[in-house]
Amino acid sequence: MNSHATPTVALIAPGNMGAAVAKRLTENKVSVLTSLAGRSAASSKRAQDAGMRGAEDRELAEADFLLSIVPPGDALALAKRLASVLSAANKKPIYVECNAVSPQTMNHIADVVKATGCEFVGAAIIGPPPKPGSTNTKFYAAGPAAANFAIFNDYGLIVRVLDGPITAASALKMSYAGITKGFTALGASMMLAATRGGSAEALRAELAESQPALFGYLTRQVPTMYSKAYRWVAEMNEISDFIGDDKSEHAMLDAAGLLYERLAADFDGGKQEIGALETFVAGAKKE
């Protein structure tokens, strides 16, 4: 790529995060391609609204950069799916793995991608899908090619390059998400336990009085979790792997994954536990 040319980006996939990142890029005159094969009508609409253009895998493999932004459990499978077209590409992209995966998984993905001849960046996203004018979403990047990815600081993204191996950004993401999403899981589980035990009102009052910062955080974060719980299951498993089976605390994150799996099923089903959480939070808003 000419150092003065605007880069072309292949971004997979146009989910909530991917589409928001793409919109930020297209607003800064970056051409963003994506794969719409097998995607839902909602995904196609998000891609269109973000200014993305649908393309075949062969065209995606000849972009300047390929950003993988998919559920964590799909990240390795995506790299394997694209391996053959990346190997065959004459002009290979820099592959930027942006997903919430453990350092172990990051290394597996890197092995697949490097075998195709592509340069590889181990990255992580911290923050929500970016909104116009916001600075809450940051890309952390590591590895020898990370400095090349930092070009997107000129195109609407916030990219911070870390020293260390290609797994450095992954380790940061696992630690950060383990705290934030792990704490959300703990809070939700205690709200449910208090509801079952008949002490929900008392718990709300005590948290509001003695732990106002934690109380405010939980009543903001728990409701936003419901629709995302299904995606957080694999992420909790990745964080557990990051901690290591030889450390007893890994079981906490395994348990959080099981909780999110149950809440995801409930969100799509009878909403019994989701309803209990909504009642707890609604009561907090009245106080």
State how far the alpha carbon of 229 is from the alpha carbons of 106, 139, 140, 260, in Å.
22, 22, 24, 5
Q: What is the identity of the amino acid at 103?
A: P
**DSSP run (H or E) holding 10:** strand 8-12
Q: How confident is the model at residue 38 (pLDDT cuts 50, 70, 90)?
A: confident
Q: Give the burial class of 97: count Cβ atoms within 10 A of its Cβ; 0-12 exposed, 13-18 middle, 19 or more buried.
A: buried
Q: Average pLDDT, stretch 132-148? A: 96
> How, if at all, do strands 159-161 and 65-68 pair?
unpaired
- Of 271, 260, 284, the closest CA to residue 203 belongs to 284
Starting at the edge strand found earlier in the chain, the sheet holding 53-54 runs 53-54, 31-34, 8-12, 65-68, 94-97, 120-126, 138-142, 159-161
pLDDT value of position 132: 87
Q: Report residue 188: phi and psi, to 5°.
A: -65, -40
The percentage of the chain sitting over the pLDDT mark of 70, rounded to a whole number, equals 98
pLDDT digits 0-9 by tens, 229-254: 999 999 999 999 999 999 999 999 99
pLDDT at 2 > cutoff 60: no
180 in Cβ contact with 158 (< 8 Å): no
pLDDT digits 0-9 by tens, 47-96: 999 999 999 999 999 999 999 999 999 999 999 999 999 999 999 999 99
DSSP secondary structure letter of residue 58: H
pLDDT at 286 > cutoff 80: no
pLDDT digits 0-9 by tens, 9-27: 999 999 999 999 999 999 9
- Of 61, 14, 67, 16, the closest CA to residue 37 belongs to 14
Residues 6+ apart with CB under 8 A from 171: 103, 242
